[in-house]
Structure 1
């Protein structure tokens, strides 16, 4: 018979402590209670706990202090914060500090049981590393840091904003966060927000009732309902129209949705992960994205590095892609000529890993004798990092014209990589928007 799991309850209100003790006792869990921060820290030093539930306000400190104490000394113990109703900022601060999740007062017992069950399914810290290593290739420092962050975020229920350029692997990162966490056995529902027609968005997200509009011939659950108990991944979230952003914000805050044509709200338990290649800060500044929704989604930001920031991984990635292309053909994988590998390492890869895969698939088809030469890669001219080196002075007739040409190339490249978002391009080049606008006008690019 396995020992019962232990939960630490920290609250100065006897009624709340008793309610939690009774509810968790019926779940066959052992409970230990503390009235303040000092008692909680003493109990943590004496006992090994599987979960901690703490109130935000304590007589001798705050729940945030307890979260930080546990994160530093007992990182294997998930912590859930209990906050006053409507204290969204407090809850977000708790999630940023490392809390697993939060509850609001008055405590909903169904929600409490779901949270406790989910928290107790968490793997040990670092336990997901092997699986992440197999899926997320590369031993460069940016990739090692990314894997550590995924492992940590998988142990939380905090909304995560995954930022990164197109083709850098944002959806893979979202899947890994889901698969290594307590929702792993539940649905992972990815949705490209830019691919849904605006007039169908509400129905797609929240579902509809039969007869609610022309063509609604039967009840249809939406994406939130499909993801119940699991994770909803909102890709290209910056493409949502403002009207839909308002409805999405309400669904996230209330944890409930109302189908088109429906009268009742349906409670949904969904973790939200989102991503976009756009600069969400710039979208908020330009008033194309609601600031309140931005703060709700961007509780924790996880940046996926572009391929050009981890060139040491290119050889590993390339060999993996070539082995995959050869799998099932009965032939050995093609090899990269040393010059081809050097060409790849000096290329900027505006399309990141996706571009590398497409490039190698084409080269694999075109190469002779199972060896990929530099010419087989068909790299775009003018997009190699080597061009950023010291120029040949004998070829410069006019320094001013040369510098203007370099400036034009860099600005065009930044614009192309940000899909001609001038604010985002200016930030990428570390320019003010006013300076960017002046340069565009000077170079005839406005």
Structure 2
């Protein structure tokens, strides 16, 4: 009969630890082969097929980093994890940079070992392919390279730092890394670090016990425990205050957290993915971000390119976004005039893909017929300034073929839409922002063809 049990290679020069690992793996219904040197490990890898490798750092004829590097280059499909000395985060970080999916510190605890093995074996199991709405749109070389990086990063459990400008799609990249990895069936929890009040951060991240502080009316698990087994995405991580950076570093290193008001700690098994539009290295230089946390989070870095670096992808993105919006709004999809397409291709998109989405959403609202023209896009004109002059917004003038009435109507539409966008389409709040009554705004919405119905519960503040 063929042996269907998973095969594990254990590399450690301590006989007692080798024996303990073999016994533990056997209880997990796994077959283990244990060796004590780098050369023996290389021989075993040549002669046998393994599902996972677990190696110590210090070996008589070399080190575990050398073996990790060899496996990554010669057997890239084989997950490998590192056994490190307690508290030696430099070694753990280096191992993951070289390709190890995770690490375990001595003394090895059985619960932690089981989690490590389960995570590693899960890497060999194929995750589902992302659906159309979850894929990255674009065929530019930078996007093809990014897809390749995502496929590799999904196999690892190392912390990932995603850099890129605002609006490039950093959270989408983080979700893809999660979906394509062994944690795809577990939670993906995203949090904007800049949106949490400083005094509530510890409670939001680590949870709290009922009654531990004023306003704690019930127990709260916190983001770390909600993401247990899955991925925690820390967006705008550079906005974390220094006192919270210390607590975050400890939680990542110890793989455990203590809720506010709780007497004991809880172990957590999560993958950390973080992102920011700021230059995190510069934040370290300026003293606004801890260097030790930076090195812990930036084990592997990937960059999401801005839209201006891949203009050939704009037509694909336009088609994708327009189809999605028209499907949501249950309306026929209009075409774009040649002038509109040329204008989009030449535009720099300082707000990247997010700005393109906003531009198309506005254009769909402003267009009256089956075609979107350049004037419906309302692209921001490039700013011209004299030496030493500050940047200032500049409004485009009225086109020669447009009547004054139409031009003023478009200005009215633009200002109303801007107020509605900033108030999340709360018409009462938008009316106050525009300095008019709710009834007056409702009349203008109907006149301009922007009325969506509803909102009657918002009241009429005269």
**Unpaired segments ≥5 residues, structure 2:** 393-462
| TM score, norm. by length of structure 2 | 0.81
How has the CA–CA distance of structure 1 residues 134 and 213 changed in structure 2, closer, same or farther, with 3 Å as cutoff? Answer: closer
Q: How does 1:255-274 map to 2 (within 5 A)?
A: 255-274=255-274
Is the CA contact (8 Å cut-off) linking 1:63 and 1:81 kept in structure 2? yes
Instruction: Tell me if structure 2 keeps the 8 A contact 1:160–1:300.
Output: yes
| RMSD of aligned Cα (Å) | 2.1
Q: How far does residue 367 in structure 1 lie from its aligned partner after superposition?
A: 2.1
CA distance in 1, matches of 2:193, 2:134: 29
Partner of 1:281: 281
Alpha-carbon spacing, 1:128–1:185, altered in 2? closer, same or farther (3 Å): closer
Structure whose alpha-carbon radius of gyration is higher: 2
CA distance in 1, matches of 2:192, 2:91: 31
SS of match in other structure, 1:217: coil
Secondary structure of 1:122 counterpart: helix
CA contact (8 A) 1:96 1:299 kept: yes
1:34 maps to 35
1:30-429 paired onto structure 2 within 5 Å: 30-123=31-124, 135-327=135-327, 331-382=331-382, 404=387
CA distance in 2, matches of 1:308, 1:43: 50
What secondary structure sits across from 1:154 in the alignment?
helix
SS of corresponding position for 1:48: coil
Checking the alignment, whether the CA contact within 8 Å between 1:150 and 1:176 is kept in structure 2 is yes
The corresponding residue for 1:16 is 17
Secondary structure in 2 aligned to 1:38?
helix
- Is the 8 Å Cα contact of residues 123 and 181 (structure 1) preserved in structure 2? no
Match of 1:427 in 2: none
Q: Which string of whole-angstrom CA distances, capped at 9 and with x for unpartnered residues, describes residues 59-78 of structure 1?
A: 11111111111111111100
Structure 2 CA distance for aligned equivalents of residues 195 and 66 of structure 1: 43
Q: 1:408 to 1:128 in 2, by over 3 A?
A: farther
Equivalents in 2 of 1:328, 1:257: separation in Å?
Answer: 41
Aligned partners of 1:150 and 1:177 also within 8 Å: yes
TM-aligned CA deviation for residue 128 of structure 1:
6.6
- Alpha-carbon distance between aligned partners in 2 of 1:259 and 1:102, rounded to the nearest angstrom: 25
CA–CA separation in structure 1 for the residues paired with 2:106 and 2:179: 30
Contact 2:134/2:176 (<8 A) preserved: no
Shift of 1:123: 4.3
Does the residue aligned with 1:9 lie in a helix, a strand or coil? strand
Pair 1:363–1:5, CA change in 2 (3 A) = same
Alpha-carbon contact 1:364-1:370 (below 8 Å) kept: no
Determine helix, strand or coil for the equivalent of 1:362: helix
Q: Which runs of 4+ in 1 moved over 4 A?
A: 127-134, 328-331, 407-410
Tell me, what secondary structure is at the counterpart of 1:233? Answer: strand
Cα distance in 2, alignment partners of residues 244 and 100 from structure 1: 26
3-state DSSP of counterpart to 2:155: coil
Matched residue count: 391
CA contact (8 A) 1:256 1:268 kept: yes
- In the TM superposition, residue 268 of structure 1 has moved relative to its aligned partner by 1.2
TM-score, normalisation: structure 1: 0.83
Deviation of 1:109 after TM superposition, in Å, equals 1.1
CA contact (8 A) 1:76 1:124 kept: no
| C-alpha contact 2:238 2:276 (8 A) present in aligned 1 | yes
Alignment of 1:421-440 (within 5 A): none
Tell me how far 1:2 sits from its aligned partner. 7.4
Determine helix, strand or coil for the equivalent of 2:104: strand
Structure 1 gap ranges (5+): 388-400, 411-446
Q: Is the 8 A contact 2:245 2:293 kept in 1?
A: yes
Cα displacement string for residues 355-406 of structure 1 (whole angstroms, at most 9, x for unaligned residues) = 00010011122224322222211110116xxx9xxxxxxxxxxxxx97x37x
Q: CA deviation at 1:24?
A: 0.7
| Residues 1:132 and 1:275: Cα distance change in structure 2 (over 3 Å) | farther
Separation (CA, whole Å) in 2 of partners of 1:335 and 1:122: 44
| Deviation of 1:331 (Å) | 4.3
